[in-house]
């Protein structure tokens, strides 16, 4: 293992290196930090020539000795505002006089063996860390830049801390988690765009001059643009070419921007969205940004993804669950929606007996006066009109049938028709005398108010304490509008979005640490808050409300850009599909759900005996590859965004075992026979390919397997591979 952070006093260069990559920057003239290199591993040579001062007309100079020298022409590590750099700034602070000019320069640094955690926010664990302290002498402000490197991945974790040492308060208008200048712009940019039921579609376009932004102002990371962007060479594909990935460990309103400047530099930076953001930082107080994870790959997009997958499994997801067998659930939602009784639930549980399904999940409608989506949210007590024996009779039935019990909550919301709202109408996010927007007939609770969070700790905690519950699905089904808090005073109103998500983290931290034997799954109208920060608390997230097998090929392919298969929750549901009315083969639905954390939303009362046997067979199949889902390396082979096939291969770390999935999106007359090369195997090992024979690895890699050409619409093939002597 080669892992080191060093500082060369002669060159004034910091080097962060492991076996795969180096991140380097130096202290330039005037004390500003200039970026030098993020890429393949290099020796500790003098590469200051990469930040040689360039001359350009009309560029104001910070250095009086050279009229044409300007920060606007230099690759910055953390650019400041108003000192001659006209590109996107990383920081914008306003003093009480209205001054917005800050001048942060190098003061000192230290190297620590283990990274300090962020106060109140999720972040990666461990890693050797460099802390560079910058100082703004005029305003008495200290800024600490954190850089963490890991021994097994080409990744750098970055964040920023601001400390106000001035006698008066200042307003933080913008404070990026990271900024990076790359000395070229011939990139394609890749983002994950979408919407409800079509999350994280891959969109790849050439990077051009000007500013490009992926962002959210919704109070959540959102269905629409994931907090991720990649910059790659124009010829980069899954297995070849350079790529940089940038992912924010944050679940609230965020922004990541790229900018190509007049000299061909590419600047990328991101963090909390500065739109409608202003944080009052009082004298002596500290403000910490969320963390950003920067990954470099010189072997294409799949390798970038594997770096993220390994890093998040090893250093982000709760270590008690990252590699632990996941529950195989039956969720009642699409079977019954709100219309159920205790008998209905017990009948479903009885039907699931013997299939291998190990957890029954009672979804929305079990609490308060919740008989539709118009009432009851916030009243976290059992609706005994539906469940006469409370939850205990349903739980008892689960145990009798060899299953555990799980339940659904939506902690962040309230219905106007609820006991909670009638008692505390002031607990909602709302503007006085303004009729609020509603979505799904619900309002958002004001999590900046500590009383709200304390109520939820007790209400949800009581349910979990009084009942034998092993699984919780945490949902969140609308975004924030009328961004105003009756709890906060005027000078803190623009802090609400960030305070809200900090309180969500606090509630999640309390529940997951108090009820350590409960498995928590995240959800937000499907995959509307699928981000690294949520994965810190929830080892898996409901990937999309769209459970159609064909749609899931696109959704899961895009999600895998930076999130492991084990974090994606996907269920086998009925046909015609409830989201798009499509009919796909049951086998296809089962195989697609096998390449994530699997479960069911079928109405078992309507299934035939043969279909029950298929469920039991599918559960056995999934259990045979579940270790690959938890710990395997993913190789994306064919993209549904680019052709008529979806294909992925998961390979065990020791390369002795693999699973391959192929789906044909649409049948074509007299189609060609697909020949598919299987990447990631050991070239010299022989593999028994299920139903096809034994092949040496180099043949599977370089020649591939030939498949039948008469597959029907959305038909799948799923094969297991095992090395043989």
Catalytic residues: 475, 545
Give bridge partners of residue 161 from the DSSP assignment.
144, 288
Burial class of residue 672 (count of CB atoms within 10 Å of its CB; 0-12, 13-18, 19+): exposed
Q: How far apart are CA 144 and CA 136, in angstroms?
A: 12
| 280: its two tokens | 């009052």
Q: Please, are residues 575 and 614 in contact by the beta-carbon 8 Å criterion?
A: no
Say if CB 311 and CB 202 are below 8 A apart.
no
**CA dist., res. 305 & res. 679, Å (int):** 14
Task: Please count the other Cβ atoms lying within 10 Å of the Cβ belonging to residue 82.
Answer: 13
Measure the CA–CA gap between 371 and 508, rounded to whole angstroms: 27
Q: Let me know: does 577 contact 548? Beta carbons within 8 Å.
A: yes
User: Which tokens hold the place of 133?
Assistant: 């302290």
Residue among 628, 657, 648, 719 nearest 325 (CA): 628
DSSP state of 101: -
Continuous H helices in 199-320: 300-315
Alpha helix (H) ranges present in 65-222? none
Cβ-Cβ contacts under 8 Å for 634 (sequence gap 6 or more)? 302, 305, 306, 309, 560, 564, 565, 648, 649, 650
Nearest to 492 by CA among 440, 446, 550, 555: 446
Spatial CA neighbour of 147 closest among 306, 45, 299, 18: 18
DSSP one-letter code for 29: G
CA gap 187, 206 in Å, rounded: 6
Looking up tokens 């290099």 gives 42
Convert 290-328 to b/e letters by CB count within 10 Å (16 or more is b): bbbbbbbbbbbbbbbbbbbbbbbbbbbbbeebbeeebbb
- In terms of Cα–Cα distance, which of 571, 534, 556 is closest to 201? 556
Angle at 104 between CA 28 and CA 170, to 5 degrees: 170
| 231 and 187 Cβ atoms separated by less than 8 Å | yes
* Whole-Å CA distances, 369 to 339, 375, 377, 416, 450: 12, 6, 8, 12, 26
């Amino acid at each position: 293992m080669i892992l080191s952070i060093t500082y060369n006093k002669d060159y004034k260069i910091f080097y962060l290196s492991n076996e795969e990559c180096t991140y380097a920057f130096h202290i330039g003239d005037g004390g500003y930090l200039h970026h030098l290199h993020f890429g393949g591993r290099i020796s500790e040579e003098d590469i200051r020539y990469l930040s040689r001062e360039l001359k350009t007309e009309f560029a104001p100079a910070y250095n009086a000795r050279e009229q044409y020298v300007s920060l606007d022409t230099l690759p910055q590590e953390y650019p400041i505002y108003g000192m001659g750099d006209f590109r996107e700034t990383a920081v914008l602070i306003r003093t009480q006089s209205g001054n917005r000019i800050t001048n942060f320069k190098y003061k000192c640094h230290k190297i620590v063996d283990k990274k300090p955690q962020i106060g109140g926010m999720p972040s990666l664990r461990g890693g050797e860390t460099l802390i560079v302290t910058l100082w703004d002498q005029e305003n008495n402000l200290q800024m600490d830049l954190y850089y963490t490197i890991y021994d097994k991945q080409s990744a750098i974790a970055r964040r920023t801390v601001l400390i106000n040492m001035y006698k008066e308060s200042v307003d933080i208008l913008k404070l990026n988690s990271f900024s990076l200048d790359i000395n070229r712009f011939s990139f394609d940019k890749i983002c994950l765009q979408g919407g409800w039921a079509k999350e994280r579609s891959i969109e790849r376009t050439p990077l051009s001059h000007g500013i490009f932004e992926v962002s959210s102002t919704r109070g959540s990371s959102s269905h629409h643009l994931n907090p991720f962007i990649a910059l790659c060479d124009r010829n980069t594909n899954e297995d070849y070419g350079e790529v940089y990935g940038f992912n924010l460990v944050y679940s609230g309103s965020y922004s990541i921007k790229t900018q190509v400047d007049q000299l061909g530099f590419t600047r990328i930076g991101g963090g909390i969205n500065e739109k409608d953001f202003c944080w009052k930082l009082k004298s002596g107080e500290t403000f910490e940004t969320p963390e950003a994870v920067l990954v470099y790959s010189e072997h294409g997009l799949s390798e970038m993804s594997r770096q993220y997958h390994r890093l998040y499994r090893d250093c982000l997801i709760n270590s008690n669950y990252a590699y632990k067998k996941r529950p195989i659930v039956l969720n009642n939602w699409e079977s019954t929606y709100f219309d159920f009784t205790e008998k209905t639930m017990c009948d479903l549980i009885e039907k699931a007996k013997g299939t291998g399904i190990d957890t029954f999940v009672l979804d929305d409608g079990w609490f308060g006066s919740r008989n539709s989506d118009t009432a009851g949210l916030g009243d976290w007590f059992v609706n005994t009109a539906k469940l006469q024996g409370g939850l205990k009779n349903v739980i008892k039935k689960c145990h009798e049938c060899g299953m555990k019990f799980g339940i659904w909550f939506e902690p962040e919301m309230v219905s106007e028709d609820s006991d909670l709202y009638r008692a505390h109408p002031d607990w909602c996010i709302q503007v006085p005398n303004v009729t609020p927007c509603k979505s799904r007939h619900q309002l958002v609770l004001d999590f900046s108010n500590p009383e709200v969070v304390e109520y939820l700790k007790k209400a949800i905690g009581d349910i979990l304490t009084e009942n034998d519950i092993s699984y919780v699905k945490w949902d969140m089904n609308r975004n924030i509008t009328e961004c105003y808090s009756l709890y906060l005073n005027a000078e803190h109103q623009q802090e609400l979005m960030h305070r809200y998500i900090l309180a969500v983290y606090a509630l999640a931290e309390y529940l997951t640490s108090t009820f350590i034997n409960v498995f928590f799954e995240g959800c937000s109208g499907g995959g509307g808050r699928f981000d690294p920060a949520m994965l810190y608390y929830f080892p898996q997230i409901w990937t999309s409300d769209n459970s159609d097998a064909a749609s899931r090929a696109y959704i899961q392919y895009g999600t895998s850009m930076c999130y492991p298969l084990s974090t994606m929750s996907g269920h086998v549901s009925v046909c015609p599909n409830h989201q798009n009315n499509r009919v796909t083969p049951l086998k296809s639905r089962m195989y697609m759900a096998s390449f994530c954390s699997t479960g069911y939303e079928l109405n078992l009362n309507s299934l035939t005996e043969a279909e029950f046997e298929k469920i039991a067979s599918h559960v056995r199949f999934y259990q045979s590859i579940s270790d690959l889902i938890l710990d395997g390396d993913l190789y994306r082979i064919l993209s549904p965004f680019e052709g008529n096939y979806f294909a992925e291969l998961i390979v065990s770390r020791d390369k002795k075992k693999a699973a391959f999935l192929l789906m044909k999106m649409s049948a074509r007359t007299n189609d060609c026979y697909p020949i598919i090369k299987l990447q990631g195997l050991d070239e010299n090992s022989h593999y028994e390919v299920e139903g096809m024979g034994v092949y040496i690895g180099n043949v599977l890699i370089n020649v591939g397997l030939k498949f039948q050409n008469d597959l029907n619409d959305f038909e799948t093939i799923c094969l297991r591979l095992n090395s043989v002597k």
